[in-house]
Chain A
């Protein structure tokens, strides 16, 4: 006889609320008239995320390993990561809901009559909202999943909507679709690796729960564990775009609609790093001799390659993509640190980086000419003259990426490198510092273009941001500034929440 399992609905509620919101969104798609759909969908998304956030606040002191039998562990770090995802998503949703970002009719062939008519009718694919909420839900599940299958399912739950969303850009649709295809094919490829690795971990431990894997350490020889760790890592490293599994990042970041890029860059990183941290800290901690050296190497490679290649970029979205690769390298040093400080630092870094990234992509969304967004760096020349505020904010964000003191990026870097140093990984600190120097080069170059070069004739016009974009960008920027100058609240929080139940 089957015994009905009991689920801890309270602690699962933040996720379930988002799932419910997504389903509600689907229903709205089915039964709601076209005219108000977008507004309703937006309201649902915001509301759901807010409720979820409030729910997370309520359960902040609760922890449970049996919330969903054995599939989910709600612990301090898990709640922090979920809250981060929700918060960033909440900011991102304002960008997503802003005008003119998504395709009018995805099924219409680009350039066709049908598309023209759809555009004329000011149609918009409002399905993006439920898809977005599904992705958020998946991202919330990903860092708290404690068995490989839930992990895999969560991975797919947030990946599939992203594949789709990447292809739904309103303009430059061929590029957008290509981004979707690339993202999808490579994502599925990486999933296959992940699954294959999961199989070997299962073979090694006889169970797929990551606690079980940790407990099984030493039960058999390491070969299966080795294969398992490597292949599971490939799947996860792909998601955080670590070198050499990073190739999709620039292409997809460039092709996807900018708000989605923002969302992807910020939230996927949080979710994926959450999962990586949990797996490596909880599941593979006993096998650290196996993976720490290579993750160290990958971290260094990622920092260096990300920084170096970014120099050669001519497109601002691609440049930020490479910057995000470099940041993944920095974040990996938090993984390698394998201590509480490393975890706390990573949590802090994720929030700081997420906010900055959202704001940066938000601004990219504002820089447009008659044909849509302008991402060619050469046409950003003189932006600071044209629109000093936008230029200054962007410059500030770049400085934050570069890790100049008094920005959140600096505190993050400091925290994460001290954790890495603490754990004895001095090489990673040195490499991090040097690649930061390289990275500074291209951030500074963009600042020059914005401020120190005279605008040419066909330069861009910055649109006056709508209220939604304003809200989103200003919240992200202001919190980024605050975190930079007075980081102690967030640091304390990160420290308090830096705890995985093993």
Chain B
């Protein structure tokens, strides 16, 4: 059996097995879920070990006929970009499970259902990054919404069902627009080279400009909603506020990456000309996202809303990097996806612990935590520093690569984007000051510091954040060849060519 298939199928098998465990035995359910997802993570790491960095074509590729009528194949295969995102997803899931051990208990349904949903979601996440068939991707892309919808609606807090609906409708709307484009592409393929959903073949189509623009927009809007890019972002804060921290981690850390991943994999690869046409617009939107998200984050009173808006700002950087069309921007954006995944995970998990201890998510309810719960405070601090892209932590490398890559082609955008780092300092330091510093707020005096389970779960994330800040090379080595290929395939070459040294 192909290792990639194993990584994808294992969670699903796990979900089926969990179903056999008695509902009452929730501890066993949790342990089993943790075991399964850890195995998946290990398998994914083996996937990376066996990955040949020197070739840019799809690896672990496999294809089974699924719906022969439309020539739809169950085709999987990964390149560097997909690989790192699969790694991100599979590593985050066990961490999330461990970190949010008790989060599933206040839900509308049983603990068992929670983990079944999580495991199904993991399969979808792996599938969406591994699919090399457009139709298959679309199926995962859309089907993924359902477990998330139930996770938000069933286990969230506050106005959870409204948030879940908003999330679902936004995504569905985007997905349906994309469906129109998928259909268009399929039909055009049928007219030109015979019906196919194979990505490499689709990339060879010759589409007239106007059609290409429309098809591109269908894809792009879907991904922009997912990403979320301004002005398609308003679902995210609501969803993040209502979801449990664990779900939020998966939502912001992994699911949203599908949007930016899709931009690279589909928008650029399939519609290079249209991408060129729309690049100025997209760069503009990205810059707006960066600044707008930052300002909105500064104004947030809710800690989850704050993190959500910081993500919007960060996603602005990612899209900017992608559409800068330089190898630095592209690699930086890819790396940013991974780094943002981990730093947001750290932020959300720690914030989640803070909130569950205080039973509030309002920033002003906290204060002086540094003295009450130093370990938790430090975790939050480091996560925050990663959020503001402090050099030495992982986000810096990616953010700087994006900015450098963008500057070489779109200096103005890069300059405005760089202003975002001042705002980043504000939106991270203000909550840090309010929560960790100052006098100890009433009600926090006896807050408990992180327990061993929590420490174990946050430690790897922080370790990754720090190590990736100083030594991003292993990941960059995976990413670089593919991103260079993407840039070249889209018809661009770096403005700053290789200097002979």
Contact = CB atoms under 8 A, between A and B. Distances in A.
Q: In the complex they form, do A and B come into direct contact, defined as C-beta atoms under 8 angstroms apart?
A: yes
A54 interface: no
B169 A422 contact: no
Contact of B161 (A434, A441, A448, A495): A448
B289 to A, nearest CB: 23
Given A404-B142, A415-B70, A487-B67, A452 B184 contact: no
Nearest to A488: B67
A415 B69 CA distance: 10
Interface in B166-211: 168-169, 172-173, 176-177, 179-180, 182-184, 186-187, 190
Contact of A445 (B142, B165, B173): B165
B154 interface: yes
A415 B195 CA distance: 12
Contact of B176 (A385, A426, A433, A491): A433
Interface in A149-196: none
Given A415-B70, A418-B187, A488-B66, A451 B172 contact: no
B339 to A, nearest CB: 30
Given A437-B173, A451-B150, A452-B154, A426 B161 contact: no
Given A437-B172, A451-B108, A491-B70, A418 B183 contact: yes
Contacts of B184: 421, 426, 429
B139 interface: yes
A436 interface: yes
Contact of B169 (A344, A404, A444, A486): A444
Nearest to B139: A405
B69 A492 contact: yes
A399 interface: yes
A452 B153 contact: yes
B160 interface: yes
Contacts of B143: 404-406
Given A451-B154, A452-B153, A491 B172 contact: no
A437 B169 contact: yes
Contacts of A486: 66
B143 to A, nearest CB: 5
Given A399-B146, A433-B180, A437-B176, A422 B161 contact: no
B142 to A, nearest CB: 4
A247 to B, nearest CB: 28
Nearest to A491: B69
B66 A404 contact: no
Interface in A449-475: 451-453
B274 to A, nearest CB: 16
A308 interface: no
Nearest to B179: A433
B164 interface: yes
Interface string B107-148: 011000000000000000000000000010011111101100
Contacts of B22: none
Which among B141, B145, B168 has the highest number of chain A CB atoms within 10 Å?
A: B168
B443 interface: no
A486 B138 CA distance: 16
A482 interface: no
Contacts of A411: 67
Interface string A398-412: 010010111000110
B70 A404 contact: no
B185 to A, nearest CB: 10
B68 interface: yes
A248 interface: no
Contacts of B142: 404-405, 410
Interface string B51-92: 000000000000001111110000000000000000000000
A421 B109 CA distance: 42
Contacts of B187: 418, 421-422
A414 B68 CA distance: 14
A452 B164 CA distance: 10
Given A404-B143, A451-B153, A488 B68 contact: yes
Contacts of A448: 153, 161, 164-165
A385 to B, nearest CB: 8
A32 interface: no
Contacts of B165: 444-445, 448
Interface in A292-347: 344
Interface residues on B, range: 35 or more
Interface string A217-233: 00000000000000000
A430 interface: yes
A440 interface: yes
A495 B71 CA distance: 13
Given A405-B139, A411-B67, A488-B66, A453 B161 contact: yes
B146 A417 contact: no
A440 B168 CA distance: 9
Nearest to B171: A440
A330 to B, nearest CB: 12
A229 to B, nearest CB: 28
A434 B68 contact: no
Contacts of A491: 67, 69-70
Contacts of A422: 187, 190
A452 B109 CA distance: 10
Contacts of A441: 169
B473 to A, nearest CB: 38
A138 B66 CA distance: 37
A452 B66 contact: no
A59 to B, nearest CB: 24
Contacts of B186: 418
Contact of A417 (B65, B138, B179): B179
Contacts of B180: 417, 429-430, 433
Contacts of B70: 414-415, 418, 491
A178 to B, nearest CB: 35
A487 to B, nearest CB: 6
Contacts of B150: 451
Contacts of A429: 180, 183-184
Given A414-B183, A448-B161, A451-B150, A495 B69 contact: yes
A108 to B, nearest CB: 45
B154 A488 contact: no
A346 to B, nearest CB: 14
A405 B69 contact: no
A191 B67 CA distance: 41
A433 to B, nearest CB: 4
Nearest to B141: A405
A405 B160 contact: no
Nearest to B188: A421
Nearest to A396: B146
Contacts of A495: 69
Nearest to A432: B180
B108 to A, nearest CB: 7
Contacts of B160: 452
B44 to A, nearest CB: 24
Contact of A414 (B161, B168, B179): B179
Contacts of A452: 108, 153-154, 160-161, 164
A434 B66 contact: no
Nearest to A431: B180
Contacts of B146: 399, 404
A150 B231 CA distance: 57
17 contacts: A402-B172, A404-B142, A404-B143, A406-B143, A411-B67, A418-B70, A418-B183, A418-B187, A440-B168, A440-B173, A441-B169, A444-B169, A448-B161, A453-B161, A491-B67, A491-B70, A492-B69
The 9 closest A-B pairs by CB, nearest first: A452-B161, A491-B69, A405-B139, A405-B142, A437-B173, A433-B176, A433-B180, A421-B187, A452-B153
Given A402-B172, A440-B169, A453-B161, 14 more contacts: A344-B69, A404-B142, A404-B145, A417-B183, A426-B184, A430-B180, A440-B168, A444-B168, A444-B169, A448-B161, A448-B165, A451-B153, A487-B67, A488-B66
